[in-house]
Amino acid sequence: MLKKRIIPCLDIKDGRTVKGVNFVGLRDAGDPVALARMYSEIGADELVFLDITATHEKRKTLVALVKEVAQQVAIPFTVGGGVGSVEDAYYLLQSGADKVAINSAAVKNPSIIKELADKFGNQCVVLAVDAKLIGDTWKVFLNGGRLETDKELFSWAKQAEQLGAGEILFTSMDHDGTKAGFAIEALKKMNELLTIPIIASGGAGSIAHFTEVFQQTDVSAALAASIFHFKEVDLPALKQALRAQHIQIRL
């Protein structure tokens, strides 16, 4: 059985790590380079780096910062935000990223998923999906949660898998930053539809929430930000607690 992964997320704005609630009310969480180095040293399985305003501000991801972070980590490193072409992905991978996360550009031009997978391999392509429950339908949002689309979460995730995405990073906007737990039912449904790995994101607030998501769904990884950045949950202690619950985890 593949071991479950714990992934800290560095949301970047103006070169700093930030974190909000439901995608708003951002507060400073520190220097991304120092945080990346710390997470690599204390046992994070991977890192995700999201330049959260790149698409909204119509600019590229901060390549120089990606290079600096990559030099500090010895674990897989996914970068997203402003990735709109094969060329963008190439520069990020050349700068030290192991995978690229694509969101807005894929919704606008789904064929880019296939282009990226054909060029770099499925294992390098992560589809990041930000979704919110509108009525009883999970709708996909773009531009850091600012723009509602006509895409429905589950059909979009399935389409992305068929086009060549190697992994889905699903963030529930309703749960993001609330520390009330992951979107368990939506994750269960996504597990039933897909064969590729799913990263659960949005809502982690305690060790119990990680235990719950791994015991109740078949997600491959769980991602969190503020609880790690502000030391509300100790990452090594989290891993020990998961192991004690017989969840397969790297220590």
Please state at what angle helix 153-163 crosses helix 184-193, rounded to 10 degrees.
40
> Catalytic annotation on 130?
yes
DSSP letter assigned to residue 4: B
Residue 201's Cβ-count burial label (10 Å; 0-12, 13-18, 19+) is buried
Q: What is the dihedral sign for C-alpha 229, 235, 241, 245?
A: positive
- Pairwise CA distance, residues 10 & 97, whole Å: 14
* Centroid of chain to Cα 76: 13
Angle, nearest 10°, between helix axes 32-42 and 63-70? 30
Q: Which of 45, 51, 88, 130 is catalytic?
A: 130
Q: How far apart are the first and last CA of the chain?
A: 15
CB neighbours of residue 146 within 10 Å? 13
**Burial of residue 82 (number of CB atoms within 10 Å: 0-12, 13-18, 19+):** buried
The DSSP call for residue 182 is -
Residues marked as catalytic: 11, 130
